[in-house]
Structure 1
Amino acid sequence: MKDFANSQQADKSLTFAEILRFYLPLATAAVIMIGSVNVVNSALSKTPNPQAALAAFAIAFSYAEMVSAPCFSGMNMMITLGRDRKYFINTFKFMIKVTAVAMCFIGVLAFTPVGKFVALNIGGASLNLYKDITTVWRFSLILPFVYLIISTSRSVLLTEQKTIYVTIARGLRLVVMLTLAAFLPLLKGLSGAAIGVLIMLAGMGTEGLVALVPAAILFKKWHTEPNDVPEKNYPATQAAVLKFITPLMVTSLMWGISRPLLYAGLARLNLGELSIATYKVANNFTWLFMVLVQDNVKHITVAFLRNNPNHKKHIIKFSAIASLAVTALILVSVFTPIGEYLLTNVIGVDKSMAVACTAPILVFAFYPILLTLEEHYQARLLLKGETKPIGFAKVLNIVAIGITVFTIAAIYPNMGAVTGSIALSVGMLVEALIVRHYAVKFRA
């Protein structure tokens, strides 16, 4: 009875204000991040052939991100388990190996005939885009290393709940990208796709280096050895890290595959390049709102349930409010002039493109609810040490996306960019239901 009373008191100790203090800097940083992506779109819209530039950059960078995605897996592991130097360094050594492999894969795409096969036969790109795609891949050789720096720094900041530094790093990233976007399109000799990747890499590199400073200071204060080992197996060896993190790497890789898979399906529609460009703009626009919950729900769940499972109801309530608010914001943008204003004045597309984006944006309006459900239960599985169901769910997500996008492209080739938003939503629905099933099964 005494234990029950103590647990009830602990449950009440978590306030809405405490969650907000952790969440708001992350939400601000997320908005800055997606805003930085739209800086690239705006810069490319000023090039002589904006549709080709957007399509080439979208296809090439999506493959580079797919290959680099596993370099973020270490962050999920770090924020879930310990906070000591031995654990951190052991995980970091493993992630260095992952980064090296990712750089090799991008090198193969950039400098061998494999890249041409992937771009034309799998990515669905036209031959006239191939030169620009290769340029993007060559610049992207450093992308896995940049990912490693960002994820390593952020893992320390999230573990210490110093989320304000994440916001500061993202803010400086945006400043750098805006500066480059102002003058790079004026330079002769740079293709549109090259401008896009240079702006993106410079911004991401700035974010990683800025976040590294406070992360290093905080890391020095950590214990050398674990003083509070979790009940689950402590990954003190490279083999243990591999066992725990492999499903998370699969998750990152699968999510990276979703973009080129979607673009490959959209490329098979009538007016494929226009469909890809429209989908990318619509996706980036809606992510201006969706980033308010993306990853943040998972971080909140881990941060507050890690030490006290009795906070579960508070986290669920906060996450539900956040997801419904985001859905409402997207719907308002669709049915009012706000959406067209943001598309034409913030993202920088013309009115015809803004009108074409309406249908995919409307479908995306309900995606935040699915995303929140998936992230909450994924976080609970992470805390339980059950990573295999997470990887399994992501694989089925990608399968569902592939089946949906290629089926629609074959049956309704004139459906356009909305095909992509439908496919992405179907995939997330499948994944959310699966992770919830396993979370209930393992009593996470």
Structure 2
Amino acid sequence: MNLHSDSKNLLSYRTVFWFFLPLGFSASLVTFSHLIINSTLARAPDPAFVIASYSIAMSLFTIFEKAAFVIRPTSAKLIRDKASYRAVSKVSIYVLLIILFLSLIIAYSFIGKWILMYIFGVNSELLTSTLDAYRILLFVTIFSGIRCLFQGIIINNLRTKWMTISMVFRLLVMAVLAYILVTQDLVHHGYIGSIIFLVGMAIEALVSTLEGLHLIKQLPEKKEDHTIQKSSHVLSFYRPLLLASFIAVLIQPSINVTLGWSEKGEVAVASYAVAWAVTQLFLSFTSYMHQIVMNFYRKDSTVVIRFAIYANMIPSLFLCLIVFTPLGTVLLQNIMGLSGELLQESLSALTFFLLFALIFPWVDFLHGMVMNRAETRIMAFSQTGNVIVTLGMLVMMFYYFSPLGGAIGSIAISIGLLAELIILTIILKYKPEKSSSKANTRRRKVEG
């Protein structure tokens, strides 16, 4: 692929490449941070127990964290001046306060115990450790929301190198903290992973905030024809994204619940968590594909599509190397510290994530198409289909292929994502943008 400018194109591959590379690299580094945590917990005296308690707490945490996560595309799409910044910030503050309130209720009341025992299937031995991990994770959401608000501004201003810089600082601090905890023999509980995660997220939020505030100072007070001034304007874009995220976030908890009920539940949950972390290490590189679509598709769709074809092949190629060569065993055994049954189960689960790696980048690409149209309600519909298919596969796999362990989760989530890809493709093909004047009006209002 030629990354130099092409005079025939309105947009050069070089521009797209240097916009995307820091985003993809920073997303990959996010996955490294989870590998640091899982590798640290794998060195506990009872790694399956410790990783399982942290993973289940993360599943509960992720339900609320998604509400903070979608602040990033909202910020990137809507903030063009100081007036729109204040509107998005106001919505973000309300969202984070509501999340904190609900999380505290779950963490310190009988509701949390009931959810973990009767929905997640956590046994009495694992309950206390899981709650301890969650009581620290709930504060991670606040820092996550803050960094997403300012990272949206950074992305919109094409200053994506700061995404990588903030992640480098986060990883360095997490790695040093993990090393200290391991050498001091302090890794005995799942909440150790939560502490590492909290410290890392706080560092990333700090760096993103400093750069974001610098960029805000350069924005005009009111940009001509940009209509985002009130919270209601922001909510019309944010609410469908939030709904879609809450629908999609049901998938991981459902998988952990099902795996917890399967044969050798702790090993199944832990092996799936490890396989998911390794998959995300490569797949996260393309998790910002929607931002390329949002920023460049209207300038030159041909360049964007061609770039996506090449970039979207990268995760599955690397995952093939992990699955079909001894590199996978080296990574899990020597770097992550896995052994025995947990090692074999993790490799098995990882194999079935190949389909997921092939599909995910294109689903994210189509999400960018949807957000470009400001028709974010489509995502709620497509992700509902994803959840329905995933849950159906989980039930079938649980009853007929329970001995597969963590692979049950990777198979189900891959088939569910395939269903979402099909739904999005059909909707975008047969519902052209010009066919809906209401959608065009909404897009013009959002874009100003």
What TM-score, normalized to structure 2? 0.91
CA change 1:46–1:303 in 2 (3 A) is same
**Which amino acid counterpart does residue 399 of structure 1 have in structure 2?**
I
**1:6 is matched with which residue?**
none
Q: Is the 1:139–1:197 contact (alpha carbons within 8 Å) kept by the matching residues of 2?
A: yes
Give 1:204 deviation, angstroms: 0.9
Q: What amino acid sits opposite 1:347 in the alignment?
A: M
Shift of residue 134, structure 1, vs aligned partner: 1.3
Contact 2:241 2:380 in 1 (8 A): yes
Equivalent position to 2:387, from 398, 412, 417 = 398
Aligned pairs (5 A) from 1:312-351: 312-350=301-339
Match of 1:431 among 420, 424, 430: 420
Task: Give the aligned partner of residue 132 of structure 1.
Answer: 129
Contact 1:52 1:129 (8 Å CA) reproduced: yes
Change (3 A) 1:82 1:443: farther
What is the deviation of 1:411? 2.1
In structure 1, the partner of 2:272 is 279
> How big is each residue's C-alpha offset from its partner over 1:146-175, in whole Å with a ceiling of 9 and x where there is no partner?
111110121011001111110010011001
Q: How does 1:253-402 map to 2 (within 5 A)?
A: 253-294=246-287, 296-305=288-297, 309-350=298-339, 352-402=341-391
Helix, strand or coil: the match of 1:349? Answer: coil
Query: What residue in structure 1 maps to residue 61 of structure 2?
Result: 64
Q: CA deviation at 1:215?
A: 1.2
Query: Is the Cα contact below 8 Å between 2:40 and 2:178 reproduced in 1?
Result: yes
**1:346 CA drift (Å):** 2.7
AA at the equivalent of 2:260? A
- Asked if 2 retains the 8 angstrom alpha-carbon contact of 1:267 and 1:276, the reply is yes
| 1:166 is the counterpart of 2:163 | yes
- The residue that corresponds to 2:443 in the other structure is none
2:28 to 9, 27, 31: 31
Q: Aligned partners of 2:90 and 2:402: how far apart in 1? A: 47
Shift of 1:214: 1.2
Q: Note if contact 1:109-1:137 (Cα within 8 Å) is conserved in structure 2.
A: no
- Deviation at 1:179? 1.0
Q: Percentage identity across aligned positions?
A: 23
Gaps (5+ residues) in structure 2?
A: 1-5, 434-448
* 1:130-154 superposed Cα distances (whole Å, 9 cap, x missing partner): 1111111221231221111110121
Shift, 1:287, TM fit: 1.4
Tell me, yes or no, if the aligned pair for 2:44 and 2:187 is still in contact at 8 Å. no
> Which structure 1 residue ranges, 5 or more long, are not aligned?
1-8
Give the corresponding residue for 2:52.
55
Which position in structure 1 is the counterpart of 2:113? 116
Equivalent residue number for residue 5 of structure 1: none
Is the contact between residue 359 and residue 421 of structure 2 (CA under 8 Å) also seen in structure 1?
yes
Compute the displacement of 1:440 (Å): 2.6
Opposite residue 50 of structure 1, the aligned amino acid is P
Superposition CA RMSD, Å: 1.8
Partners of 1:340 and 1:351 within 8 A in 2: no
Q: In structure 1, which of residues 196, 200, 209 is the aligned counterpart of residue 197 of structure 2?
A: 200
1:63 maps to a residue whose letter is L
In the TM superposition, 1:140-289 aligns within 5 A as: 140-185=137-182, 191-229=188-226, 234-289=227-282
Query: 1:353: Cα distance to partner?
Result: 3.0
Q: How far did residue 91 of structure 1 move?
A: 1.3
SS in 2 for 1:12: coil
Count of paired positions: 428
Q: Tell me if structure 2 keeps the 8 A contact 1:84–1:222.
A: yes
